[in-house]
């Protein structure tokens, strides 16, 4: 009797509850006609089909308790462990072990941008071209789809570009300032001493940098102030290069760029954005859940509440609290009925309770709303496998791969012991994360207001953008106000600096006071030609020697002074890259834990004022950036040492001015009148005599 009751009781209970209310799906042996049998399950030698499956439960659920930790598709903590092992192996000079460990980390968490960047960096250092080429497409894809990855990349790229531009701008300013030293001394001496002859005082140009440095405007602020007189002095391509570098620095300092505006919440480990991302990816944590509840209590914005509820629902589901998780997901769907994470979370919770048919129905509904998401197809495949519907499961897996979703093969030991098939709990969408960044970004100062770079890059009382923009506007006003831009700036005979007020004019040629006085006193054209020729030759030799020495001290400065723009720009660029890589290139480590150079504490810096860069990221002189930068500097120094002959050949030949024998014009001993227009050329061709 007992045996009979035990055999009949399941059927009686099922008949009373109905076929759709069973807690676990069962496979009944229902007779089917030949027309009703799916041809995929027919086989000539196969003696079993769906109609002859054993009467067992499709899902094996522990009978004593509900699962405390549901199965996971991936285990980010394990990925972090492999990543740290890879870094240790790389530090111990074991590239093979480092390569294997980072591959394991990427197999567990393939979308982690830090793992991807570090793998590419290691491949670059070890010259592993196949690994580098295989990593680049995934890196590009992650940057396109992940706002968190873009935020993490925007900060180091922005700061590295600022440092690189600062180095190039520094070398350019020094090169122009030394090359135009005589002209600056002439103009500044004329303003200070008010001498009629505008005699050169070679020490006067030192007053400008000393005066600007006393204002303590910061590195970039000092360069901006120094560029004001240089923009007035220079002409042509060189003026364009100086103005272009200046404007590019202003663009970098502009505080309202969207990618820079959204970046601070993405890199702040204590921000709500980081909390949401961690809650959707990492293991269940009571601390994380408490933080989410605390934020949810104070949240007033409906979108923000939805994001917090999704993250908290995922955390509760991973702790086995499916009822609480369902309530959170349903509240999200009340506000956003098409929320992908909430729809998938409800379906996953149903799956883990053992209601396979209901879970399958929810997955299909989610797939209908989001047909381009492969996670729904992948989760459907797990249900089909549990129901032993192998063809349907295979088709669902193929569909998930066609949609771009590839599930990692890793499953932790606890999941395997429980016998579950892992399904995906998708986190917040990229749109939701961008909204979270935009909501929280208002609480942060602009990224260009860098904490530890205040005294380093700009003046503390003013924004860096204004520190750079105001001097540029002042320089442009002075250039437009200076109405004699086309006046000759050098003596037609010796090449010394002159202006409209101190020049002497003879035969439409502008001469310096010395050459003009010589021409005025000479009564013979032959004697005058000899005197002017000797003076022109002496000054020309001095100028050539000065240009050669300048080219040796600062690569490219001599070429810019001798009007060889392309060669000078190329040499300055190589020198700037070398200085940047040696001084700061080692800082931007792709695997560092958010060690942004501009956002470190003062005790963590090499020097809070002069070198506010992370001390603990210095890996020694044999790191790849330092070696490459030193190679650039050594190469350009060697080129500068052997560039003397090239520089001498590139210096324009000096012509000696002498009046034409047929000329009877008188020499003007007084300065040229203010209404005098500059001649079309510096000196008429018949009046020039080549040395």
| List of the chain residues with pLDDT < 50 | 1-30, 32, 41, 43-66, 68, 71, 73-74, 411-419, 662-691
pLDDT for the residue 659: 65
pLDDT for the residue 683: 38
Specify whether the CB–CB gap between 286 and 267 falls below 8 A.
no
Question: Per CATH, which fold does 269-441 belong to?
Answer: 1.25.40
pLDDT for the residue 658: 67
Question: Per CATH, which fold does 76-145 belong to?
Answer: 1.25.40
Consecutive H or E run containing 688: strand 688-690
Q: Structural domain boundaries of the chain?
A: 76-145, 156-256+456-650, 269-441
DSSP 8-state symbol, 205: G
Residue 675: CA atoms inside 13 Å, Cβ hemisphere, count?
0
Same fold, 76-145 and 269-441: yes
pLDDT for the residue 583: 92
Distance CA 187, CA 169 (A): 23
DSSP 8-state symbol, 177: H
Please name which of 89, 140, 84, 75 lies closest in space to residue 592, comparing C-alpha atoms: 84
Long-range CB pairs of 92-101, under 8 A, 24+ apart, other chains included:
95/122, 95/126, 98/122, 99/128, 99/131
Distance CA 465, CA 453 (A): 14
| Distant-in-sequence, close-in-space partners of 225: CB < 8 Å, separation ≥ 6 | 212, 215, 217, 471
pTM, rounded to two decimals: 0.77
φ, ψ dihedrals at 656, nearest 5°? -95, 125
φ, ψ dihedrals at 88, nearest 5°? -65, -45
Q: What is the 3-state secondary structure (H, E, C) of 486-538?
A: CCCCECCCCCCECCCCCCEEECCEEECHHHHHHHHHCCCHHHHHHHHHHHHHH
Distance CA 427, CA 279 (A): 9
DSSP 8-state symbol, 37: S
pLDDT for the residue 594: 65
């Amino acid at each position: 009797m007992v045996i009979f009751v035990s055999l009949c009781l399941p059927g009686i209970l099922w008949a009373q509850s109905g076929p759709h209310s069973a807690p676990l799906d069962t496979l009944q042996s229902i007779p089917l006609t030949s027309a009703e049998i799916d041809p995929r399950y027919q086989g000539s030698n196969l003696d079993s089909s769906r109609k002859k499956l054993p009467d067992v439960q499709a899902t094996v659920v522990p009978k004593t308790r509900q699962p405390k930790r549901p199965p996971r598709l991936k285990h980010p903590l394990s990925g972090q462990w492999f990543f740290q092992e890879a870094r240790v192996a790389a530090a111990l000079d074991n590239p093979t072990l480092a390569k294997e460990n980072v591959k394991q980390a990427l197999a567990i968490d393939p979308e982690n941008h830090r793992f991807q960047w570090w793998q590419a960096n290691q491949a670059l250092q070890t010259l592993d071209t196949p690994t580098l080429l295989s990593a680049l497409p995934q890196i590009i894809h992650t940057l396109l789809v992940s706002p968190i990855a873009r935020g993490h990349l925007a900060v180091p790229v922005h700061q590295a570009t600022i440092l690189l531009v600062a180095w190039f701008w520094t070398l350019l300013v020094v090169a122009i300032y030394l090359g135009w030293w005589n002209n600056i001394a002439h103009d500044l001496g004329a303003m200070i001493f008010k001498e009629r002859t505008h005699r050169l005082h070679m020490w006067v140009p030192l007053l400008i940098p000393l005066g600007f440095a006393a204002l303590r405007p910061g590195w970039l602020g000092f360069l901006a102030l120094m560029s004001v007189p240089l923009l007035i002095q220079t002409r042509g391509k060189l003026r364009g290069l100086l103005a272009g570098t200046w404007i590019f620095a202003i663009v970098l300092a502009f505080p309202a760029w969207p990618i820079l505006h959204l970046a601070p919440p993405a890199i702040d480990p204590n921000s709500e954005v980081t909390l949401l991302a961690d809650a959707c990816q990492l293991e269940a944590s009571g601390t994380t859940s408490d933080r989410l509840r605390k934020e949810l209590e104070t949240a007033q914005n409906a979108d923000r509440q939805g994001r917090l509820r999704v993250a908290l629902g995922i955390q509760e589901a991973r702790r086995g609290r499916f009822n609480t998780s369902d309530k959170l997901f349903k509240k999200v769907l009340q506000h956003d009925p098409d929320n992908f994470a909430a729809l998938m979370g409800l379906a996953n919770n149903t799956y883990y309770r053992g209601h396979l048919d209901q879970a399958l129905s929810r997955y299909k509904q989610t797939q209908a709303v989001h047909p381009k998401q492969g996670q729904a197809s992948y989760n459907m495949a797990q249900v089909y496998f549990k129901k032993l519907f192998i063809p349907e499961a295979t088709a669902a897996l193929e569909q998930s791969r066609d949609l771009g979703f590839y599930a990692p093969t890793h499953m932790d030991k606890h999941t395997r012991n429980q016998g579950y098939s892992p399904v995906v709990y998708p986190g917040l969408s990229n749109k939701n994360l961008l909204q979270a960044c935009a909501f929280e970004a208002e609480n942060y100062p602009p990224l260009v207001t860098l904490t530890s770079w205040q005294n380093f890059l700009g003046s503390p009382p003013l924004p860096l953008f204004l520190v750079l923009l105001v001097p540029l506007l002042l320089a442009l006003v002075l250039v437009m106000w200076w109405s004699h831009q086309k006046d000759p700036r050098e003596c037609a005979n010796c090449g010394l600096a002159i202006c409209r007020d101190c020049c002497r004019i003879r035969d439409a040629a502008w001469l310096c006071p010395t050459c003009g006085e010589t021409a005025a006193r000479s009564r013979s054209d032959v004697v005058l030609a000899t005197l002017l020729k000797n003076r022109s030759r002496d000054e020309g030799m001095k100028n050539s020697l000065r240009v050669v020495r300048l080219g040796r001290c600062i690569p490219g400065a001599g070429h810019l002074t001798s009007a060889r723009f392309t060669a000078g720009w190329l040499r300055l660029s190589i020198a700037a890259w070398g200085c940047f890589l040696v001084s700061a290139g080692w800082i931007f480590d792709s695997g560092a834990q958010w060690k942004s150079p501009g956002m470190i504490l003062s005790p963590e810096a090499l020097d809070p004022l002069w070198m506010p860069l992370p001390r603990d990221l210095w890996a020694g002189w044999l790191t790849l950036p330092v070696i490459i930068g030193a190679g650039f500097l050594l190469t350009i120094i060697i080129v500068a040492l052997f560039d003397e002959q090239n520089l001498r050949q590139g210096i324009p030949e000096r012509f000696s001015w002498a009046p034409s024998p047929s000329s009877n014009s008188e020499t003007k001993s007084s300065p040229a009148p203010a209404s005098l227009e500059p001649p079309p050329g510096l000196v008429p061709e018949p009046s020039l005599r080549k040395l």
